[in-house]
Amino acid sequence: MSIKLGDTAPNFQAVSSLGDINFYDYLGDSWGILFSHPADYTPVCTTELGYTSKLQAEFAERGTKVIALSVDEVEDHQNWIKDINETQDTHVAFPIIADKDKKVSELYDFIHPNASATATVRSLLIIDPAKKVRLIITYPASTGRNFNEILRVLDSLQLTDTHHVATPVNWEYGDDVIIPPAISTEEAREKFPKGVTVIKPYLRYTPQPNT
């Protein structure tokens, strides 16, 4: 199955390091991040899961739940988590799906045969509370993800949904944002009382509305 932006993320039942999971029930009304890993006991994955664990407060602040996936058994996950906690100085509290039969991996197109016929690539999806897919990003197995970028995108998605703005290149939380072309400059001056800077009729900035 090929999943695209705007698609409804399919639900699934799975076994995880924290027990049986219904994906939709796990997410509830939260935003969600589902990300896959090539295998347990691998060095890059160990650093990724450790860093994700350290960001739990950041994700919670954004109303977001994370859930990982690997094509290994639950027992492997649970023992590997001990290694992650030890080597990365953390406590992994989010579930890791045990996708031994690859049902979830195939459902979400996490296996790319030309890269590996058996291991999942490093795919990550951001899913909104309506269960719509808002971001898809895929790295090769050899390259660890940048979770600071994931947080940045999550901030952008939540900001733009709430305030109907867009974020420019290299935007960071607190920077000026862009006024979409669908809003006239006159409307923008009413909608954004912090001010409107017009560079071109189609390129207009305003301070981030919620700061």
- Identify whether 88 is a catalytic site residue: no
Only one residue has tokens 């664990």, namely 53
Helix (H, G, I), strand (E, B) or coil at 155: helix
What is the maximum alpha-carbon separation in the chain? 61
Structure tokens at 176: 């000026």
From 33, 45, 84, 165, active-site residue: 45
Contact 183, 191 (CB under 8 A): yes
Handedness of CA 149, 62, 124, 20 (dihedral sign): positive
> Residue 133, class by beta-carbon neighbours within 10 Å (0-12 exposed, 13-18 middle, 19+ buried)?
buried
The values of phi and psi at residue 76, to 5°, are -60, -45
- Which active-site residues does the annotation give? 45
